[in-house]
Amino acid sequence: MGLGSKKTSANVSPDIKGQTQSETPIPSTPTSTSTSRTSSPMPNEKVVDGKTPDDSSKLRTFLSILKRFIGVTDIAAVRFSLPAQLLEPIPNLEYWHYLERPETFVAIGDSEDALGRMLGCVRFWFSKDLKYVHGKPCKPYNSTLGEFFRCQWQIEDTAPSILGQEHKVSALQTETAQLGASTAGKPVKVNFLTEQTSHHPPVSAYFIDCPEKGISARGYDQLSAKFTGTSIKVTPGEHNQGIYVSLSQRGEEYKLTHPAAFLSGFIRGNLNVTVADACFFSCEQTGIKVIIHYLEEGYFGKTQNRIEGVVYKCAGPAADRLTRIKDVSDKDILGRIDGMWTDKVWFSPGATDFKKTSEKDRILLIDVNPLRPVPKICPPTNEQLPNESRLFWNEVTEAITAKQFSVATAKKTEIEERQREKAAQRKQAQTEWRPRYFTKATEPSGRPELTEDGRRAVLGMEQGSWHLEPQAEYGAM
């Protein structure tokens, strides 16, 4: 194994389009062909209700509601209802995805070096939360049972390999590309499908696919949240075991687990996200594992957003029980990771402490400062089903946009009451809700499986068709 034949020179970042420091930050192209709400408001932008994201009056109202949940084990499971004026006009299923910069995702498997592919996972990981780096946290609509969302990104395959010989080739035979032909700098499609498969507890399954690059990802989104009195601690729910990334041409699967996060700033009227936990990336096929520690508090309690990590070789990641960087033997270490998840993240090869590594030997994995979320492409309204997120919540969104908050709250209440009625009817009839696009509400392995309808929906996006047949029954309408 080793570092491979391609080594990045000192202080030179493997360029991601829109990342070069001397350039004006731009999103990867082409941009969305349909109107798309941003994942979250960016600094100096106006949110759709005309108010700035740090509206202190909203936060004070939100805080007064949260105080009722002090001591509640999991407020995410309670699914309490908020008045519309406290919500961001975006569905939960649209808000939660990991493809702020999909070009970093499709490039994970490009390196011929196993370490290079793992570092591709690390780069992808730190590109997926730009909404919190450049924007403010917000509260989207609660998902309803059976609600689903789908979209696509069309981006250029521009993110280079970090280490090792680069191998950007098509995994498909298509009208525009030949099997094995180079995809470097060419447009590729990334498809995203997610469905709310359970309401108690609230769980959604998701599937990400880029057939041309032979890469996919899947998992469950489920959060557990507890209000401490000054902040909300958010941890992965029991069904949220991580993001599972599969490289079909290499026969490899990477597991990326989520750390705990804290939502703070209610009293100051300025919401912010901090992380003070560890996360782990592993691949059984290559035997490489990564431990990353988020070090949020510095001297005098000042938030620093620092991370440090270690990449190492082990006999079997599934059986490896190490959780602390200091417990990893120097002889197993392939390199170290250091930086800030809100700024730059670096890699230094070998076991030498990062601070003692010469700057010329450090490799810049990613600089998130100039990066912004890439716009998504969504189906036109006339191709959306009634339980498709944007159409399902459209009346609420229009009312919030028009600042008709009482109307928006009334419409939202109607949706919530309908969902309760449907649940009561199923209980009385002793019937169980079954997801349409995924085989089960949850899988013990943490890896959701697509149904035939799910496969058709993803294939349709890849082929440029949004059409789906209506379903006989809806979970919340």
pLDDT tens-digit series, residues 10-38:
343 456 764 433 333 333 333 333 333 33
**Rounded CA separation 389/383 (Å):** 12
Diameter over CA atoms, the chain = 69
Averaged pLDDT for residues 454-476: 94
Tell me what the mean pLDDT of segment 73-86 comes to.
71
Tens digit of each residue's pLDDT (9 = 90 or more) over 83-102? 788 888 999 999 989 999 99
Distance between CA atoms of residues 101 and 14, nearest Å: 15
In terms of Cβ atoms closer than 10 Å to its own Cβ (0-12, 13-18, 19+), residue 394 is: middle
Query: Which of 125-134, 135-144, 388-397, 464-473 is predicted with the least confidence, judged by mean pLDDT?
Result: 135-144
- For the entire predicted model, the pTM comes to 0.87
pLDDT by residue (tens digit) across 287-325? 999 999 999 765 555 667 999 999 999 988 989 999 999
> Per-residue confidence at 51, pLDDT binned at 50, 70, 90?
very low
Give yes or no for residue 49 having a pLDDT over 90.
Answer: no
Question: Under a CB-based contact definition with an 8 Å cutoff, are residues 303 and 274 in contact?
Answer: yes
d(CA 147, CA 471): 12
Instruction: Give residue 69's pLDDT.
Output: 62
Q: How confident is the model at residue 226 (pLDDT cuts 50, 70, 90)?
A: confident
Q: Distances from the Cα of 331 to the Cαs of 286, 319, 351, in angstroms?
A: 17, 19, 7
Average pLDDT in the chain: 85
Two tokens, residue 263: 């939502």
pLDDT of residue 297: 66
For residue 378, which phi and psi values (nearest 5 degrees)? -120, 160
pLDDT grade for 417, boundaries at 50, 70 and 90 = very high
pLDDT 10s digits, 167-189:
999 988 666 567 878 888 899 99
- What six digits make up the tokens of 229? 């009195």
Tokens for 56?
């202190």
**Contacts (Cβ under 8 Å, ≥6 apart) of 375:** 27, 31, 32, 36
Q: In whole angstroms, what is the distance from residue 219 CA to residue 197 CA?
A: 12
Question: What distance in Å separates the CA atoms of residue 239 and residue 106, rounded to the nearest whole number?
Answer: 25
What pLDDT does 383 receive? 97
Q: How far is CA 268 from CA 56, 68, 116, 234, 243, in A?
A: 8, 19, 42, 20, 34
